[in-house]
Structure formats: C-alpha cells, structure tokens
Amino acid sequence: MTDFAEIKLSNAQIAWRAAQDIEDGAYVNLGIGFPEMVAQYQVEGREAIYHTENGVLNFGAAPAEGEEDWDLINAGKKAITLKDGAAFFHHADSFAMVRGGHLDVAILGAFQVAQNGDLANWSTGKGVPAVGGAMDLVHGAKRVAVVTDHVTKKGDPKLVAECTMPLTGVGCVTRVYTSLAVIDIEDGHFVLREKLPQISLEELQAVTGGELKVQGTVADLIVPEL
Amino acid sequence: MTDFAEIKLSNAQIAWRAAQDIEDGAYVNLGIGFPEMVAQYQVEGREAIYHTENGVLNFGAAPAEGEEDWDLINAGKKAITLKDGAAFFHHADSFAMVRGGHLDVAILGAFQVAQNGDLANWSTGKGVPAVGGAMDLVHGAKRVAVVTDHVTKKGDPKLVAECTMPLTGVGCVTRVYTSLAVIDIEDGHFVLREKLPQISLEELQAVTGGELKVQGTVADLIVPEL
Amino acid sequence: MDKSCASAAEAVACIPDGATVMIGGFGGSGGPIELIHALIDKGAKNLTVINNNAGNGDVGLAAMIREDMVGKLICSFPKSKDPRAFTERYLDGKIELELVPQGTLAERIRAGGAGIPAFYTPTSYGTDLAKGKPVGDFDGRSYVQERWLKADFALVKGELGDPMGNMTYRLAARNFNPLMCMAARHTIAQVTKLVPAGGIDPEQVITPGIFVNSIVEIANPQQEEVLNREGAVYP
Amino acid sequence: MDKSCASAAEAVACIPDGATVMIGGFGGSGGPIELIHALIDKGAKNLTVINNNAGNGDVGLAAMIREDMVGKLICSFPKSKDPRAFTERYLDGKIELELVPQGTLAERIRAGGAGIPAFYTPTSYGTDLAKGKPVGDFDGRSYVQERWLKADFALVKGELGDPMGNMTYRLAARNFNPLMCMAARHTIAQVTKLVPAGGIDPEQVITPGIFVNSIVEIANPQQEEVLNREGAVYP
C-alpha cells in the first residue's frame, strides 16, 4: 500500500478545508477534540455562530490561562469566552436546536463512515461506553460533516462499504473531509469532489473501503501550509 | 320536584366552601368564570399560589380600572396584578406544570359530572367549539374539583350516572362542590360528604343522576352569608 | 450578523399565498399587531394560521380573517368578546377549524421546534378531540399520540431584540411566542426596542437568535385589547 | 411561603436508601457540590443517580460513587479526566450503567416533568442504544420511542433564589438543572444568594418556584473543576 504520510494533510489542514465551507451567518456545532480546530480557521469576513450542547450560543476562543470561569465551558469541558450576542439556555432547549434542524452544520470526528452515510464514532466496543451528544448531533443539522484521517493508524480505510463498528447514526453524514480528499455522500455512494493532486484516483480508491464515484470534475484539494 | 331555590348556596357560597379546602402553600389553577371566585375567599392565614395557563405564577387581584396593563392578563383575558415572587414562563412550561402533576388543585366549572369522575364542561355540541386549557387542566393536578349548581336551570341533574354531553376528560374529577352538597368521587361512585342540613338524603338523591353513597357521617354543609 | 429589517412591510414581504403561519399572542397579549397589519397590507390568500385564538373585533387576526386571507385556523379557543369575523365564516363553512387543547397546541409547537415528531399526552384521552388518534398505554394509563406542528413562518412579538435575533418578552406577552420561534422555518419578530448585539444579558435571553430569521423594531407597538376598546378597525 | 432550609444537611436529610436522585450539572459546571457532600455526610445506599456524567476525581458525584452509595447510574458520558471511581466499579460489575444520548437524556427528563410519558426522537435510531425500544415511522422517517425519566429527588444548583423557590442560574451552569427541577417529586436547590420574594424580576426567573421544594443558601459554592485542580478529596 502506498504511504501517503509525506503528502497527506495535517489535522489543522483538514480543519482549514472544512472551515472554507462554513457560510457567513452559519450556526455550527463542532465535536469535541479535532473538530474544534475548525473554529481556528474561520474564513475572514465570515461570521459563524458556535453552539455547544451544554447550552451556549455564540461563544468564542478559550480565555487566557488563569482567567477561566469554570461555569463557562463547552461540551468538551474546556473554558470558553462569550461574544456579543451570546445566549444561555438549558439542555432541552439546546438539543431542540440540534434535533429541530436549527443548526446549519455539525462537524464530527469518525472511526468509520460508510458509503450510505452511516457513521461510527462513539464506541470501539471496549471499556466504558460513553456517547455524549454524538447521536443527537448527527440528526437535525442541515449538513453533517466529518473530519478525519483517510485511514486508521494501521492503514485500514476509515471510509468503508459498511461500518463494522457500533453506529452513531444511520445515513447521516453528508460530506467527509479527509487527509487526502473531500468526499460527498449521495444516494448511498461516495462521490469524490476533491483530492490531493499528487494522488491518482486509483491510489485513493485503494485506501478507500467503498467505491469512489466521480460525477463531473474532481477538483484539486489545495490547502495552505499551516 | 322540590325547589331548593330558597335554600341553595349562591355561587359565592360554593366558591367559599371550595376555598376552605385549599391548603397553605397550594398551587392552584382556577377555571375561567365562576371558579375564579374561589380566590376571593382564600382562608385567612393561608397562602395559595395561583397559576394561569398563559404563563404566570403568583398573580393577584385585578388592578383598579384604568390601571390595567394588557400584557398582564389571565387565561380569561382579564387584567391581573403580580404578587412578590411571581414568575413568567411560556406556554409549554405552563402546561408542563399542568400535565406534569405540579398543581395541587384545579377548580373548574361543569355541565355534567359522572359518578366515575368523567367531566363534560367544554361543549354543548352546538355553535363554535372552543376548548382552551380545560382538557389539559383535568389531567395532572393532584385534585380536580368542580364548582357547580347542583342542577341545571331546567332542574335536570348535573351529577349524572353517565355524561351525555361531549367529555372534557375521563375519570378525572375528585370532588364536586355544588349548591346543595359536597360530593367526592371514589371508585366510580358519588360519595356524599356534606349536604345542606335542610335537605334530606332522599331529596338530594332525587336531584342527583347517580347513586349517592354514604360512607360514615355526612356532615352539615354550613356556609356563611356572603 | 444583522437580521434586522427596516420595516414590518419588508419583513413580511416573503410570505406567499398558501403559507402556514404561526402568530404569537394570547388574546390581546403578545400579538404582533404591526406584523399582522403589514401582512394584511401586502395581502396573502388561503393561509393556514396557528394561534391560540381566532381574533377579536376588527383588528389583528380578526381583520385577517375578515379580509378572507385565512383558509384554515388551528387554535384552542376561537371565542372572544367580538368573534364575528371567525364565527360567521365558520358557520358558513368558509374557514376550516382544527380545534386543539391549549396545552397540546403548545406542546405540538414545541415538538415541531425540537425535532420530536410525536409524543403522548393524557390530554383529550376519551374525548371527541382524540378521535382517530393513536392511543398508547404507559404504566397502566392511556394517552393520546399527538404530532408535531411546524409552520413556514412565525410572526411574533418581543420586548428587547438584537440584530442576532436574541429576544426577551414583556410580562405575560411571552405565552406562545418563544415556542413559535422554534417551530417555523422562517421567524419574523417585532420588538419594542432593538439593541446592539451584547445589549441583552446572555442569561436573560428567552429566545436565542438561532430561532429568529428577521427582526424589526416597532417602537410603540399597538395592543389588540386597547385597539378593541377604542373600536379600531383595520385597515 | 418559605421553602428555605437552614443548611445543606437539613435539606438532604429526607433522602432515603434506594432513592432515585437527579443531580444537576455538566462536568464541573453547575453541580451542587455542597448538597452532594451533605448527602455523603448523611449516607445513603443503593441510590440510582441521574447525571450527565459519572464524576471526576475525588469530590462530588465521584466521591458518592467511591463511597459505594450509587447502585445505578443513568448518564450520557461516564468519562472524565479522572473517572476512576466509576470505571473501577463498572468494570467490576458493581455499578449498573444506563447509557443515554445526551439530548435524549435531557428530553426524557423534561418529559418526566411535563407529563409526557413517551416521545419519538431520531436520535439513536439504528444503533445499539435503541435496541429493544419501539420504533415509529412518521413522514417517511424512522424514530425511536423514548420514555420519560422521573426521580424521587433532584439536587440542583442555582445562582439567585427566593423563599418561594424561584431561581436563576449563572452562565452555562444552567444546563440540566432547570429540567431536573421539573422531573423530581422533591427538588432541593442550593443557591449562591437567597433574596426575599420579589427580589428576582419575574421576567428573569428561569425555574419557577412550583418546581422547587426546598432551597438553601450556600454563599460561596465550591466548583468541582477547581476542587479537582487542587487535588481535593471528600470527605
């Protein structure tokens, strides 16, 4: 198998690419961990409003160390700050926003994404299970995007014909930003939209578990050094 | 049929009697119209907190004429005032209080009450139908009491074996305060608790549509002139 | 982010014939009179309106009904001091009525906003209003299954608002307004005072801006009850 | 009306062995640490606890679990920086876990408070967490039926409170607290400041007093996150 370690995008670069698709005025929920990086690459001139499950809209960056107020945290239990026009609400209202279709985008991490849009990102099946808000977030947001390395640390595909790990949601993912490509999920198929120009379609297919369809042009995935 | 017009309780007196059973600290919803009179006879030294469907807890008497603020009304669309410790909330929270078992007492009017506790109080079956919060109020409150004349204007029983008018709720009424008696509903039966001393059990039964059971003593229903 | 609109007319211009429109308020309290009147000015036909009531007198919702803009009304209490506009059309079969218990109406609207397609309630079990609805038994008691209510538009009235759509409400004028904000695809709010973003304490926001699409300041809003006591007629 | 209590110890004295107890908070934010510690002082066995998490470190809920007071936990995310107390007991089969998606947990608690015995949600459909639950199809989409959650007691933390039980919350410390107030038979609240009735603007009340049974002022409440960063251990 080809090793793409030299050319693949870093997590920061994947986050940057995902950020380019967030429109001005969008309401966005970023999953805990890697997806949170997307906020750092918000496109100049666009304003996104970030939602966190524990009941805050329009929060901002982390405060300086020592300035934390531990009553003001995000879903990852990290200290946050507020922007002008923020609002607090309880958990039922917060998930009304999630399930009720009020978020424009949710961006999550993944263990596996299947070609029909199934997502597995909450359980490896071992140890203490913990789900948090993941199963809610995959339903309701107008777009459910995933940011992920294209393959596992062992080199196995994370984009698969069918998920083998416990599902987070059925047919819910609309777009995947990987370290090698941008792939939409349409009508039960992976549709390749962008790929690193250094990789051929055949090479990309070889590290992808489901068939990569091509509809029209495949654009070059060009991301700045970060 | 005996005419009890001379001795029967006035609406004010029925309301007074119902008010005697409202405990200190009770959360109470009073139906529009006649039931609202109960608030005027709150027992000295007891504090009841009144709830209105349109989202107010702990409201007080009507303001003086000309002092109304029409954003501050009750379910009957009458202007009200606030007591210290009042709270506003939206309609879903208001009916969460109703259905969720948080009210101690709801007191309503009635067209008919059946011996199994069925209530008919919203529709005569003619004209424009309107239900408001009646069907919600009969569910959830710990006690659902009715204040009513014992018979209709034509002299027909309002306490009946089975309701013939459209139901508001099934098996929901727990106590009825009438112009002649106080009657509990237990296990599908009218149980007579108090009656005007001037009326015999037989006379009362004659104007009551279901069987009046007696368990233990029937107390005299004594209400002051008002 | 600026959801503010220059006028009520501009705010309601997007409402087409045949739309489903939630209108906040309870009786004369909390009704967005200026938005309703702007919609009357614009004109729209065959609307489905969701409101607790059916209007009163000759202004607001009653005037919409009198102008034959409403084909169907979903409400709990279509009676008022002066319900002529609705009553005449209802008895003539010219307006359809879906009568819903008030708490069920509120919960169905909330469910629409919260992504809950159906729920069970004790309300209306065994009554005519439950006819044809599925019944479920839980813990030995019977409940009626009710469906969510959504709308294309909501017209609501707040007190303070900011350009992001955050809102507060005045006294009991809150009522259905925050729920309808959640349940409409496009929520249009009138507020008495539009303040800059940050002008409302985040802890005191009742409707977070995510539920509001456009917001217009109407500095001295009219009150249906007051208009009716003055015998006002619109237009 | 005076629901105020002299001390946390007095407020929690009524909680017996075997009770179901909702505990507000999300991670270190909004947890009623003093009430939890008072309950640890009092002692109670075989509790079913409903909280979003499973405690962190050696204080609060984690300390309750370490003291073997909890027989079952209903939560969405039993992981934290230092989840030892729970993890050890869970892996040893000494504590039962009901894992619920966070939004479903919130909605089930609200349903318990609102008299809604069951509702349908898209969340968890087709996953292991939906196993054994009824499914309903609405408008061409499949949903999972979820049941209400109620409790005997709720322990919550507010910011301002009055003797009638009205409350506000500080920043994001609101989270599950207002919902749990609704869903428990007996809600016990600690607040940073107890003000006289009338001391909270009725428009700014987040939890109306009807949902609260007793309220105790804890003027300088501890914060789980801060305690953990200090390496605190309770008792």
Q: What is the ipTM of this complex?
A: 0.98
Please list the helix, strand and coil fractions of chain D in percent, rounded to the nearest 5, in that order.
30, 30, 45
pLDDT of residue D16: 98
Show residues of chain B in contact with C107, CB under 8 Å. Answer: 92, 95
Q: Is the minimum CB–CB distance between A131 and chain D shorter than 8 Å?
A: yes
Site from C100, C102, C142, C222 to mutate, B interface, most B CB atoms within 10 angstroms: C102
Q: Full-prediction pTM beyond 0.80?
A: yes
Is residue B140 domain-resident? yes
CB contacts < 8 A (A, C): 65
Print burial letters for C130-140: b (CB count within 10 Å at least 16), e (below 16).
beeeeebeeee
Is residue A94 domain-resident? yes
Is residue B103 domain-resident? yes
Across the interface, whether the CB atoms of B85 and D197 are under 8 A apart is answered yes
Q: Show which subunits contact A, needing at least 3 CB pairs below 8 angstroms.
A: C, D
Residue B216 pLDDT exceeds 70: yes
The whole-angstrom separation of Cα C4 and Cα C218 is 12
* D 97-156 residues with CB < 8 A to A: 97, 99-107, 109-110, 121-129
Query: Which residue in chain D has the smallest CA separation from B95?
Result: D114
Across the interface, whether the CB atoms of B90 and C83 are under 8 A apart is answered no
Q: What is the mean pLDDT of residues C197-216?
A: 98
Residue B129 pLDDT exceeds 90: yes
CATH number of the domain to which B153 belongs:
3.40.1080.10
Angular region, C183: left φ>0, alpha ψ -120 to 50, beta rest: alpha
Across the interface, whether the CB atoms of D177 and A71 are under 8 A apart is answered no
Q: Is the minimum CB–CB distance between C147 and chain D shorter than 8 Å?
A: yes
Print burial letters for A109-148: b (CB count within 10 Å at least 16), e (below 16).
bbbbbbbbbbbbbbbeeeebbbbbbbbbbbbbbebbbbbb
Is residue B136 domain-resident? yes
Beta-carbon contacts of residue B6 (< 8 Å; ≥ 6 apart) = none
Residue A1 pLDDT exceeds 80: no
Show residues of chain A in contact with C163, CB under 8 Å. Answer: 85
Give pLDDT tens digits for C101-128: 999 999 999 999 999 999 999 999 999 9
Share of chain B above pLDDT 70, in %: 99
Show residues of chain A in contact with C213, CB under 8 Å. Answer: none
Is B53 one of the catalytic residues? yes
Give pLDDT tens digits for D116-167: 999 999 999 999 999 999 999 999 999 999 999 999 999 999 999 999 999 9
H or E stretch at D118:
strand D118-121
Tell me how many domains chain A contains.
1
CA dihedral B94→B96→B97→B98, nearest 10 degrees, is: 90
Is residue A226 domain-resident? no
Q: Is the minimum CB–CB distance between C178 and chain B shorter than 8 Å?
A: yes
H or E stretch at B56:
strand B56-60
Q: Show which subunits contact D, needing at least 3 CB pairs below 8 angstroms.
A: A, B, C
Q: Strands of D135-138's sheet, edge to edge?
A: C135-138, C141-147, C118-121, D118-121, D141-147, D135-138
pLDDT of residue D156: 98
Across the interface, whether the CB atoms of B82 and D182 are under 8 A apart is answered no
Show residues of chain B in contact with C124, CB under 8 Å. Answer: 135
Nearest Cβ partner of A25 from C1, C198, C208? C1
Is residue B91 domain-resident? yes
Is residue B156 domain-resident? yes
Give the pLDDT band of residue A2 (cuts 50, 70, 90). Answer: low
DSSP string, D5-70: ES-HHHHHTT--TT-EEEE--BTTBS--HHHHHHHHHH---SEEEE-SB---TBSHHHHHHHTT-E
Q: What is the mean pLDDT of residues A146-159?
A: 97
Residue C231 pLDDT exceeds 60: yes
Q: Give the Cβ contact number of residue C235 at 10 Å.
A: 9
Share of chain D above pLDDT 90, in %: 99
H or E stretch at C224:
helix C224-229
Active-site annotation of A, residues: 53
Residue B1 pLDDT exceeds 60: no
pLDDT of residue D65: 98
Report which residue type is found at A56: V
pLDDT of residue B5: 84
Across the interface, whether the CB atoms of B136 and C125 are under 8 A apart is answered no
Q: Is the minimum CB–CB distance between A90 and chain C shorter than 8 Å?
A: no
β-strand partners of D147? D118
Nearest Cβ partner of D138 from C117, C122, C203? C117
pLDDT of residue B2: 56
Residue pair B4/B149 in contact (Cβ under 8 Å)? The answer is: no
pLDDT of residue B193: 98
Domain extent for A40: 4-220
Q: Is the minimum CB–CB distance between A99 and chain D shorter than 8 Å?
A: yes
The whole-angstrom separation of Cα B154 and Cα D100 is 58
pLDDT of residue C177: 98
Residue pair D177/D16 in contact (Cβ under 8 Å)? The answer is: no
Residue A209 pLDDT exceeds 60: yes
Across the interface, whether the CB atoms of B96 and D113 are under 8 A apart is answered yes
Give pLDDT tens digits for C59-93: 999 999 999 999 999 999 999 999 999 999 999 99
Domains present along chain C, CATH in parentheses: 4-125+134-224 (3.40.1080.10)
Show residues of chain D in contact with C114, CB under 8 Å. Answer: 107
Query: Which residue in chain D has the smallest CA separation from A171?
Result: D126
Across the interface, whether the CB atoms of D114 and C107 are under 8 A apart is answered yes
Query: Which of the two residues, B3 and A158, has the higher pLDDT score?
Result: A158
Give me the helices (H) in C47-133, please.
60-66, 84-91, 102-114
User: Distance, in angstroms, between A159 CA and closest chain D CA?
Assistant: 19
